[in-house]
Copies of this chain bind each other. A is one copy, B any other.
Amino acid sequence: VTASEIVHTARFRVRYAETDQMGVVYHANYLVWCEIGRTELIRSLGPSYASLERDGILLAVSDASLRFHAPARYDDQIAVETRVESVRSRSLTFAYLISREEGESRQRLVSATTTLVALDPSSRPRSLPAAVLALFGNPSPAHHA
């Protein structure tokens, strides 16, 4: 597989705590939902992100960008489609499409990307092990560093 084929959809409902007085989801929460999306994508590939951390591989967000198309509302059924956009020896970029689902229809709410850099438990940059890179569809990281 190549990175571009790796995609996973996470689903959940909007919590009351996530709304604000404009009657919609407070914008910072979409970054939390992106985190759920990539956590579930990683789990779908094999290891959990929790197990990566226990193995000394921390992924810290270094860049994020979000475009807000339409607001989510309380109790909406949300789908976060997460895609591996690029794989480098020390970082991963994910793209997200957050939608509301109602029956068969799906409305686009937010599109986003985040880049995560690999850190060791002392917060120093580190390379991703070959086994981890392979999970994300990159068998030869040296060529992409």
Contact = CB atoms under 8 A, between A and B. Distances in A.
Interface of A: 12, 15-17, 19-24, 26-29, 31-32, 35-36, 39, 48-50, 53, 58, 60-68, 71, 74-75, 123
A48 B77 CA distance: 13
Most B Cβ at <10 Å: residue of A27, A29, A66: A27
A20 B19 contact: yes
A3 B12 CA distance: 28
A64 B61 contact: no
A21 B74 contact: yes
Contacts of A22: 21, 58, 60, 123
A20 B26 CA distance: 9
Contacts of A123: 22, 24, 71
Contacts of A75: 39, 48-50
A63 B50 CA distance: 28
The list of the 9 closest CB pairs from A to B, nearest first, reads A28-B31, A19-B21, A50-B75, A65-B65, A27-B61, A17-B32, A28-B28, A21-B23, A64-B66
Given A17-B20, A32-B28, A66 B63 contact: yes
A35 B16 contact: yes
